[in-house]
């Protein structure tokens, strides 16, 4: 039977409505927005309410706008990425002390730099520095450094004196400690991927794989706590010490673990489908990953922000400044900052 002019118009509206829904916020449904749609067919409902498709799509778009605005709120209003220095060979490992000063490495030049939170000056803190890579401050304000030159983990006092905390595991050289995080009781975790360095004077890897380790708070017991990753790299934990995030950059994934008091990990689960070099976390529980700029995920693993950095590679990230509200980004030969609405964690 040839359709009437009216039913044809209804079918056309239904077709357009269907396509609009595909591009709309899938979290919304017709019935959730317009309760009058119950047992009546969709086509009949549209015929009776010709503005319904437009209203529904408008509601979807408004929802998307509100959600986007909320996601953008982690960045301070009007703030843009600022380059504060670009006189390095390759920057890495930003770590913040109790006063908000940011320490970072210029690894090829074997030095640790210090950005002063009071006047913004950048000076050399330690050189040579064991080819330091990832770093983090412990609860006593000692700077922990993954000293890549001899595959060690160091503790550096505020006056620059270094002590080797870890130099092997079960009598065998580590691959090369890469990133470190200190939990609230001052025990720590570090990743140990294998990146062969041209300055090494050693043979091939002596470990069975690339793993994650736990060092007790008294610095006497070293335990392997994750041995099923391809290439663990970035690592960060929540301020309450209950969750550990580990990036498996080789598998392009980041996992979350529950932390047990004895240092062991349990309940491994996928956090996001993205690997990372360095990582940090803010006071809202958002997790920051690096590589192609800075990618931010909320605590549920939903991507909420992408911060573009005009460099080939973004290596690491941390919150610094006296108010912990400035995001510091080490990227290739430069260091960048971005003012945020969220804050970093104060120890």
Measured over the CA atoms of residue 311, residue 314, residue 316 and residue 320, the dihedral's sign is positive
Predicted pLDDT at 104 = 98
Structure tokens at 32: 């959730």
Q: How far apart are CA 52 and CA 30, in angstroms?
A: 9
User: Cβ neighbours of residue 272 under 8 Å, at least 6 residues apart?
Assistant: 253, 254, 289, 297, 301, 303
Sheet hosting strand 232-237, strand order edge to edge: 232-237, 243-248, 253-259, 265-272
pLDDT in tens, 53-89: 555 445 444 444 444 444 558 999 999 999 999 999 9
Structure tokens at 333: 């030969």
Q: How far apart are CA 322 and CA 116, in angstroms?
A: 10
- Homologous superfamily (CATH) of 82-339 is TolB, C-terminal domain (2.120.10.30)
pLDDT tens track, the chain, 347 positions: 433 333 344 444 433 434 443 344 434 444 444 444 444 454 555 566 666 555 544 544 444 444 444 455 899 999 999 999 999 999 999 999 999 999 999 999 999 999 999 999 999 999 999 999 999 999 999 999 999 999 999 999 999 999 999 999 999 999 999 999 999 999 999 999 999 999 998 999 999 999 999 999 999 999 999 999 999 999 999 999 999 999 999 999 999 999 999 999 999 999 999 999 999 999 999 999 999 999 999 999 999 999 999 999 999 999 999 999 999 999 999 999 999 999 999 87
Domain with CATH 2.120.10.30 in the chain: 82-339
Predicted pLDDT at 346 = 84
Counting other chains too, the contacts that 125-129 makes at CB distance below 8 Å and 24 or more residues apart are 125/160, 126/156, 126/160, 126/162, 129/105
Predicted pLDDT at 7 = 39
């Amino acid at each position: 039977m040839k359709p009437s002019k009216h039913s044809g118009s209804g079918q056309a509206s239904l077709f357009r409505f269907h396509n609009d829904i595909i591009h709309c916020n899938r979290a919304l449904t017709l019935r959730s927005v317009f309760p009058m749609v119950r047992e009546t067919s969709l086509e009949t409902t549209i015929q009776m309410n010709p503005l319904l498709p437009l209203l529904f799509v408008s509601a979807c778009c408004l929802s998307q706008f509100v959600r986007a605005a909320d996601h953008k709120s982690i960045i301070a209003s009007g703030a843009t990425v600022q380059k504060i220095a670009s006189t390095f060979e390759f920057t890495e490992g930003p770590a913040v002390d109790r006063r908000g000063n940011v320490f970072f490495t210029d690894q090829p030049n074997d030095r640790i730099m210090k950005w002063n939170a009071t006047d913004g000056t950048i000076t050399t803190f330690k050189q040579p520095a064991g080819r330091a890579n990832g770093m983090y401050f412990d609860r006593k304000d000692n700077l922990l450094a993954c000293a890549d030159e001899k595959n060690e983990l160091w503790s550096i006092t505020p006056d620059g004196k270094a002590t080797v905390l870890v130099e092997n595991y079960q009598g065998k050289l580590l691959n090369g400690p890469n990133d470190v995080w200190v939990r609230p009781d001052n025990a720590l975790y570090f990743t140990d991927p294998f990146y062969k360095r041209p300055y090494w004077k050693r043979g091939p890897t002596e470990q069975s794989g690339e793993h994650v380790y736990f060092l007790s708070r008294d610095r006497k017991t070293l335990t392997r706590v994750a041995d099923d990753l391809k290439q663990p790299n970035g690592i960060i934990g929540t301020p309450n010490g209950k969750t550990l995030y580990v990036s498996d950059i080789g598998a392009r994934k980041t996992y979350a673990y529950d932390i047990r008091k004895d240092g062991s990990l349990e309940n491994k689960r996928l956090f996001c489908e993205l690997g990372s070099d360095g990582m940090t976390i803010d006071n809202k529980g958002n997790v920051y990953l690096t590589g192609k700029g800075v990618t931010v995920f909320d605590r549920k693993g939903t991507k909420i922000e992408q911060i573009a950095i005009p460099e080939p590679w973004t290596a690491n990230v941390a919150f610094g400044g006296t108010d912990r509200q400035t995001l510091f980004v080490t990227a290739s030969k430069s260091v960048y900052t971005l003012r945020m609405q969220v804050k970093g964690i104060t120890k």
